[in-house]
A and B are shown apart, each in its own frame.
Chain A
Amino acid sequence: MKIIIRFLPLVLVIALGVVLYRGLSLNPQDMPSALVGKAMPEFSLSTLNDANKTVTKADLVGDIVLLNVWATWCPTCKYEHPYLLELASNPQLNTQVKLYGVNYKDERLAAQQWLINYKDPYQFSIFDKKGILGLDLGVFGAPETFVIDHHGIIRKRFAGAIDVRVWRKEFEPLIKQLINEKQQGK
């Protein structure tokens, strides 16, 4: 009994050390989104390529959707762009999953030029100049990518660039699961 009490402080300090050490490896940007499990917010905005064409939530819902928030002022978006092109040109994927862009707080001309220069992976991009949709989605930077299921429920939010590694780890299992759910008519 006495020996236990004598070693108790040591054990406690080690336990605290382990907890704090693990804390060092947590990514503070990796925040639980408030929107996971909730419905995609309503919006009514023009598309990037056509200021006269209005799109709403109804234009997205029905498919499994990747909604990618991007902007020309965002260097990480440029890094991410080639991989988005790769995803969009993947024939296995693009029949099941639709990739849409949200052009977030950007200039229309600059963004259009960007898509000409670097090619356009999106079905269309929603032009969100004032960040209204961004605010409703809880976006705090770019790039961010949301996975929305065929019922219009947000299933995942990922802040940061997507590349092969991130895709395999963060997205692929969920996308497979969603395709299954859809096929089973859930």
Chain B
Amino acid sequence: MLNKALFIMMMSLTSLFASNTVYASPVETFEFQDQVTKVRFQALSKELRCPKCQNQNLADSNSPIAADLRHELYDLLQQGKADSEVVDFMVARYGEFVLYRPRVSSVTYILWFGPALLILIGLIVVIIILRKKPATKENLALDSDQQEKLQQLLQPNHNVKNPNITKEEKE
């Protein structure tokens, strides 16, 4: 479980950096009968991760498996499958891992809600710090008990207990 969470954390970190990679043009050319399918193909091949080269999406990768999956994606779209069906098809074979945008599940809660939680914690800390009363003359003043103690300490006969100080004072 810890390993799983760790793994997801690492993956989320890597995908953070991967989201800015340069978009290389695909090696093959696909023909689409309409513009919508083309756009869907492009969107899906950006959303799906190459299982072999893990910081690249399908559109980006030159690896053979990515090429295969691009063909598979094309075929599925040509068969008239919906986006969600295509995604399910890929997830059934390669796991949640192929999704650059993971689904919300008990394993991915930390991914989805972690940042919000951290911001919340940060806000709470800031509020606590701000609400702390700054040091003013009023709350620095001694109360009656403290004042009394101070008086005791300042009285000369108080030092009897401590011969060193008494000696110094005599000098």
Contact = CB atoms under 8 A, between A and B. Distances in A.
Interface in B71-96: 72, 91-96
B101 interface: no
Interface residues of B, number: 20
Given A140-B65, A141-B52, A23 B6 contact: yes
B95 A19 contact: no
23 contacts: A19-B9, A23-B6, A23-B9, A23-B10, A26-B3, A26-B7, A26-B10, A28-B54, A31-B95, A31-B97, A32-B4, A32-B95, A32-B97, A33-B95, A34-B91, A34-B94, A35-B93, A135-B68, A135-B93, A136-B93, A138-B94, A140-B52, A140-B65
Name the interface size band of chain A. 10 to 19
Interface of A: 19, 22-23, 26, 28, 31-35, 105, 131, 135-138, 140-141
Nearest to A28: B54
Contact of A34 (B6, B10, B93): B93
Nearest to B93: A138
A140 B51 contact: yes
Nearest to B5: A19
The 5 nearest A-B residue pairs measured at CB: A34-B95, A140-B51, A138-B93, A140-B65, A23-B10
